[in-house]
Structure formats: structure tokens, C-alpha cells
Structure 1
Amino acid sequence: MLETVIGLYSLYTFLRVYISVMQIGYINQEKCKAPVLMSAEKYFTAGSYAVAKERLSLIETFVDYLMFLWWVLAGFTWLSGMVQVESVLLNAVLFLFGFIAINYIVGLPFELYQTFKIDEAYGFNKMTPGLFINDMIKSVLMFIIFGGALFTLLAWIISNFTMWWLWGFVLIFAVAVLVNVLYPTVIAPIFNKFEPIEEGELKEEITKLMEQVGLKSDGIFTMDASKRDSRLNAYFGGLGKSKRVVLFDTLLAKLNTKELLAVLGHELGHFSHGDIWKNIGLMGLLLFIAFYLFGHLPEALFLEMGVMQHAGVQIAMLLLLLPLVSFIFTPFMSYVSRHNEYAADEFGSQMGGKENLVSALLKLITENKAFPKSHPLVIFFYYTHPPVLERLKELGYDATGVVVGEESEVPKDGIFTFIGDENCK
């Protein structure tokens, strides 16, 4: 049985590696061709940034695979020997804390390199080491408190119910919905500062848009995203009375009022179409399938790994193999999401004008250095938004011409020698 699990995870890893390699080769070729949507320098820079991120992700995929092998062949046995506590619940929680802490430590260098090397080189990172450490401490404390409580409840369910997978699913799904409710008003303010948008034309126009779709929210806020990152974004989050519209301060600095309204019209399209509930439903379906599968893993599998089938190990196996299960459903979920994005674009263009939404999208991809092309496999598996060229085409924009913009320099500080981004010949 263990050989089967290793074989399936190996296949999953091979597919991820193959897709990454195809993406790297595709973008390295495309970035040297005639640019679209942005100037030649910006186009090349966006392609180089995409390749840098993909190559780092490729290395991380190999490390994840090695960690998986270590866990199932030796790691679970070693950690079980380290955690010797009589209490079933405390044993499970400490085991899971150890499992997650080790994985976090192994993954931390990739996060640091992405933030302080790649994003820094391409002009995105605004985060200081002090802020990074502060965020990390907050996250760890929240995880210990809330993660510990959740693990305790789930371990208790596993230890007391034959059909634990069903009640475990109910618990995790309920927590996921609760997080959606609490995120805008309780969780997000722990990391960012939110201020009500200033009185004026923009607030009045946004309020009119919200009234047109019948949205009653907790308010319209700006977020100090610029203290961490220079990317542009906005989102509509929350459920029930916690719903709120959030604009990144970086977005306010780059888009004019009409473009902002078109972007918000897109977000309100998601609300009007019930996309949040659709996404929650899809997430629930995925969780149900995952809990059913992992709730029926044979005891022989755990014996082959050299551990008892106790709550901590069972939850750890769920966390370890969940990416494999979600990968199978990713193309379907991505397809549904892309469909929803097209519908939201249509809604946003009606609310704010097609020309304004097009203008906003052009600014977003340029400022965010988002390369406008991707390998078809990447689009099929991972794209939750349609390719920007397709979105613009649906909005009636001819993207064949070059948009002349401010030139930008490609980093020359050694990022290419490590990441492996080839220059055009």
C-alpha cells in the first residue's frame, strides 16, 4: 500500500515538474518575441520575473517531494518516538505541531528568497526584515492558539467516532466558513491597517454601485498594502454583516476614479452572481472527498510506515496528501473560476464602462509585471483568471499592438545566474 501512495505522489510531482519546465521554456521563448500590451523592456522584464518565480517553485517542488519521502519512510516514526505523552489529545496536538513546524522551517528559505531576493530585485518588495519577523510571530501565535484548538477538536472526533471523517469534514468546513466571516474584520486587521475611504466623489460613486446591486456592507476601506508590496489589488470579502470593500493604497495611487469603479464593478459582479458561495461549495466538495478518502486509509499503510494509526498521524497524512487530491480537482475548479471571471468582467464593463475596465487591466498587468502569456498546460491547471489577452479580447480590445510605456531595467544583480533566466539571442 505504501508503494502505491509513493507511486501516486511521484506521478503528481512529475506532472508538476513537467508543467513548470514547459512554462519556463515557453516564456523564455515568448519574452523575446514582439511585445504585447506593454513596452519591449517591460515585456521582457515581466517574462524574466515569471521565469524567476517558476524556477524557484520548481526547486521547491523537488524539496517537497524529498520531504514527503522522508515523512512516509522515516519521519513519522522518528516524530512519534520524539512525542511520548500519555494523553491521546495532547499527543496528537504536539505531533502535529512538530510536523507543521518542520515543514515550515524547510519552506522558510523559499519564502525569504522570493520576498527579499526575487521580489526585491524586480521592485515589488517593501517589507523590512523587522516587519517580516513581526508578521511571522503573529502568525505563529495565532496558529498555536487557534490551530491547537482545532487540532484538539479534530483529534477528539477521530478518537471517539467510527465515522470520524464525516464529522471531521463538518468541523473543518464550518471553520472555513467562519474564517470567511471573521477575516475582513478580525483577522486581516491584525496584519494591516484599514481606514474608511475619505468622503468625496469616489466614495459616493462606489456607494451608488453597491446600492445598484443591493450590497449592504461593513464599509469601504483602504488598506496599507504598500508597506509590504507595490502590487495593485482590491477585493470584496466577508459574509453577512462582515462584508466590506477593500482597496489597496497602491491601487488608489495608480488608477483614476473611472478605472477604480470599473474594477469594483468587476468585484461586485462576483457578489451579484453569488461566486463567493459557489467557491465555498466547491471547497466543501473537495474537503468532503478528501476526508472520505483519508478516513478509509487501511491500517496496513500506517504499519508499513512504522507508526500506529493514531489521531496525530492520521491528520498529518491528510495534510501531507491533500495537495495530491486537490491537484486532481484543480483543472475543474480553475475552469469554473475562469468562467466566473468572464462573467464578472462583463458585469464590471456594464457598471463602469468597457474602456475603463480595459484601461484598468492594462495598468494592472504593467504595474504588477504580469507576463500576458502562459503555456496552455499552466492555464488549464492553475489559471483561476482567464489569460489577460483573452479577457481583453472579450471586452473588444485589440491587443496586437504594443503599448508604449515607461522603460524599465531588468535586474542585473545575479538573480539570473541563480534562477537561470536566459537573455534573448
Structure 2
Amino acid sequence: MLTIIIGVYSLYVLLSIYTSVMQIGYVNLAKRKEAVLLSPSEFLKAGNYSVKKEKLSILNTFLEFLLFLGWISFGIQFLEGQFYFFQDEAIKNIAIVMGFILINYIVALPFNYYEKFVLDQEFGFNKSTKAQWIKDTAISFVMTLLLGSLVVWGVYFILSSFELWWLWSFVFIFAIIILVNMLYPTFRAMFFDKLTPLKDEKLDAEIKRLMDETGFVSSGVFVSDASKRDARLNAYFGGFGKAKRVVLFDTLLEKLSTRELLAVLGHELGHFAHGDVYKNIGMLGVILFAMFALFGNLPESLYLELGLSQQPYVVMILFMLVMPVLGFIMMPVMGFISRKYEYAADEMGSKLGGNGGEIELANALVKLVAENKSFPLSHPIYIFFHYTHPPVIERLKVLGMDIKGVDKSSLEGKCEANI
């Protein structure tokens, strides 16, 4: 059984790296052809950014594989030996699992630092200081330690108390995910971004008009001071029920016109009107259920091959180790469904935008591509495995825009693997 798991994980790593290599080669070829949507200089810059991001992704995947091999060969046993002095089994299990989580967290820090202060700095995204990054990292670390320990304790209790532990663990973790989604805007406002009510009364009234048309009940429209950390444009709807908030990044307000902004928000409200948030949660629930059911029926021989007893902390660590594999396997299905949702939300956004709404949404999409340096072309296999949104060119075509300058050879999936 252990051989099968290692083989499946190795296949996942190879396939993940392969898709990145194909994307790198594809972008390297496409970025030297006629520019699409962007100016020639912006097109080249977006291509270079995409390539460097994928190279970093390959390194991350390779490190993830080394960590996986390290944990299953000696790492779990090593952690087990460090906490032998705990007499209370619950505390011992929490310490071992949190040790696993925090070691992985620390190992990833150099990559996070590089992405923020080298890669994002080079392409003009990073607006954060090193002091701010250290503060954010420290807060995240403490929150991971405290909240993670509570979640681990809950799962430990279930594993120790119920025969159908995998079913009740699924219910518990699924409830935690829903709770996190509800509280995310509040936690983010408390520890990271400063949220202030939207001061533009005219825009606020227009946004509330859109919300009324779709039946979206919100506790308010807020502006996040995200520009102190990053130059990218974004907005999000967070929470459930009356706790929902509309949060606009200040960068979005700065770069988009009022009508473009309303078209973008109309798109997001389209997701709400179609129940996409709840559909996605339901889809996530099905996937989580399948994952827990799988782990609830692993043969005892697997633990014997690992040289470990079937302790709760071993089950939890193994579950977290294989989660990336299962997520990667399910991503094409989730991505396919999600891309269908995006087209429907675009249609709603263009309608809510009034006359010329299609043009306003199209203009907003092009600005988002330019400001976020998103390369508008991708290899088909990369789209299949990674895209939750349709390629922007396809979205623009559906909105009725005439896209010129697309080199047909770039769309045939050819690539030049210059890594």
C-alpha cells in the first residue's frame, strides 16, 4: 500500500511539473509573437512574470515532494520521539501534528519571502515593507498555532471517541470551513487590512442598487487599504447571511471607472444570484467526504509499513500529506464546472451594468489583465488542470468583443521549453 501511495504521489509531482514546463514553453513562444490585449511591452512583461512564477512553482513542487518523502520515511517517527514526555495523549497528539504543520510553514517561508521581495518587487506588485511582512508572518504563525491546535484537538477527540471517526471528522472540518468563510472578512480586518466604509455616496448607492436587484443582503460596502501591501486589483464578498460584506481594494477604486467597477461587482453578484457560492461549498463537501471516506478505510498494513501505530496524529499527518494529490486530481472537474459559472456570471454582470454593460465589463477585464500582469494566453493542458476561470480571451469573445492579434500557432498548444 505504501508503494502505491508513493507511486501516486510521484505521478502527481511529475504531472504537476510537466504542466508547468508546458506552460513555460508555451508562454516563451507566445510572448515573442504579436501582442494580445496588452501593449507590446506589457505583453512581454506579463509573459516574463508568468514564466518566473511557473519556475518558482516547479521548485515548490519539488520541495513538497522531498518533504513528503522525508515525512513518511523518518519525519513522523522523529516528531513522535520529540514529544514522548507528554503524559496526556491529547496534548501529545496536538504537539506532534502542530509540529508537523509549523515545520512545513517555516520551510515555506524562504519561498514566500522570495516571491514577495524578489519576484513581486521586480514586477512592481510589492508595496509592503520587510517589517510589515515580518509582522504579518508573525500574526499568521500565532493564529495557525492557536486555531490549528483547537482544530487538531477536535479531530483527536473524534478519532478517539467514535468508530465512524472519518464521517464525524468530515462533518467537523466541513463546519470549520464554513465558519472560516463567515468570519474571514472580520479576521482580515482585525489583523491585516484596515476596512473603512465606502465614502463615495454615489458609488455606494449604485452598488446597493445592484445588491437590491439581486437580493444580496450585506452589512455594508467597505474599502480595504490593500495598496500598502500589494498593487494588484481585487474585490471580494465575504461571509454568510447578514454578516456578508462587500470589500473593494483601494487599488480597484483607483484604476477602474465607476461603470467598470459596477460591471465587475455585477459579475460577483451574478455568482450570488445563481447560488454559485453554495454550489462550490457543496462540491467541496463532496470532495472532502470522499477524502475522509478513503482515509477511514485505509488498511492497517499501511501503518505497519511505515513503522507506526494507527495513532490519531499519524492519521491526521498522512491526510495532510496526500491532500495536494487529491486536490490536483479533482481540480479539472472543479475547474470545468467553475468556468461554466463564470460565463453565466459575466452575462449577469453585463446585464446589471445597463446599456453597454458588456463593453464596460470587457474593459474592466482588460484592465485587470494589464494591472495584474496576467498573461492572456495559456497552454491547453495548463488551463485544464489549473484554471477556475475561462481564459480572458474566451470571456471577451462571449461578451461580443472582436479579439485581434491572436497568433493561431500559439493556440495550437505548441511550446518552446526554455526553462
TM-score range, shorter chain: over 0.9
Structure 2: any 5+ residue segments left out of the alignment?
407-416
Q: How many residues align?
A: 405
- Give per-residue Cα distances to partners, 1:248-286, cap 9 Å, x unaligned: 000000111111110110011011011110111011111
* Aligned-partner residue type, residue 215 of structure 1: F
Amino acid at match of 1:237: G
Match status 1:397 vs 2:408: no
* SS in structure 2 at match of 1:369: coil
What is residue 53 of structure 1 aligned with on the other side?
Answer: 53
Q: Note the alpha carbon deviations across 1:45-100, whole angstroms, 9 max, x for none.
A: 00000000000110111111111111111111111111212222111100011111
Verify the 8 A CA contact 2:42 2:373 in the aligned structure 1: yes
Q: How far apart, in 2, do the equivalents of 1:186 and 1:114 lie?
A: 24
2:241 — aligned with what? Answer: 240
Could you tell me how far apart the structure 2 residues matched to 1:53 and 1:112 are?
A: 14
Q: Which residue of 2 aligns with 1:159?
A: 160
Q: Contact 1:210–1:216 at 8 Å: present in 2 too?
A: yes
Match of 2:251? 250
185-194 vs 369-378, which moves further: 185-194
- More moved, 191-200 vs 387-396: 191-200
User: Could you state the TM-score of these two structures normalised by the residue count of structure 1?
Assistant: 0.93
Match of 2:222 in 1: 221
Q: What letter corresponds to residue 28 of structure 2 in structure 1?
A: N
Q: How far 1:107 sits from its partner (Å)?
A: 1.2
Match of 1:322 in 2: 323
| TM-score, with length taken from structure 2 | 0.95
- 3-state SS in 1 of match to 2:247: strand
The question of whether the paired residues in 2 share the 8 Å contact of 1:372 and 1:388 is answered with yes
Give the letter for the 2:11 counterpart: L
1:189 positional shift: 3.2
Give the 5 Å matches for 1:132-281.
132-281=133-282
Match of 1:16 in 2: 16
Identity of aligned residues (%): 52
Give the match's secondary structure for 1:154: helix
2:237 is paired with a residue of what secondary structure?
strand
Q: What amino acid is the match of 2:224?
A: M
Secondary structure of the equivalent of 2:124?
coil
Q: How far does the alpha carbon of each residue in 1:96-142 deviate from its partner, in whole angstroms, 9 at most, with x for none?
A: 11111111121111111111100000000011111111111111111
**1:379 counterpart residue number:** 383
**Structure 1: which 5+ runs fail to align?**
403-419
Amino acid at match of 1:135: D
User: Is 273-282 or 301-310 further displaced after alignment?
Assistant: 301-310
1:220 partner amino acid:
V
Please say which of residues 167-176 and 188-197 is displaced more in the overlay: 188-197
Partners of 1:388 and 1:92 lie apart in 2 by 46
Aligned equivalent of 1:412 = none
Distance 2:375 2:418 in 1: 14
User: After TM superposition, what 4+ stretches of structure 1 lie above 4 angstroms from structure 2?
Assistant: none
Q: CA deviation at 1:199?
A: 4.0
Task: Give CA-to-partner distance per residue, 1:181-229, whole Å, 9 cap, x none.
Answer: 1112234432110011014221111111111111110100100110110
Indicate conservation of the 8 Å contact 1:184/1:242, yes or no: no
8 Å contact from structure 1 (residues 334, 382) kept in 2: yes
- Following superposition of structure 1 onto structure 2, how do residues 94-113 of structure 1 map, counting pairs within 5 Å? 94-113=95-114
Paired AA for residue 60 in structure 1: N
Partner of 2:412 in structure 1?
none
Q: Give the secondary-structure state (helix, strand or coil) at the position aligned to 2:262.
A: helix
C-alpha distance in structure 2 between counterparts of 1:302 and 1:26, whole Å: 43
Separation in 2, partners of 1:251, 1:356: 14
Counterpart residue identity of residue 364, structure 2: A
Change (3 A) 1:230 1:199: closer
Residues 27 and 373 in structure 1, CA contact (< 8 A), matched pair in contact too: yes
Deviations 1:276-309 (A, max 9, x none): 1011101111111111111112222112112211
Name the residue aligned to 1:367: 371
1:118-129 aligned at under 5 Å gives the runs 118-129=119-130
Alpha-carbon separation, structure 1, partners of 2:142 and 2:67: 25
Q: Deviations over 1:235-259 (max 9, x none)?
A: 1121011111111000000111111
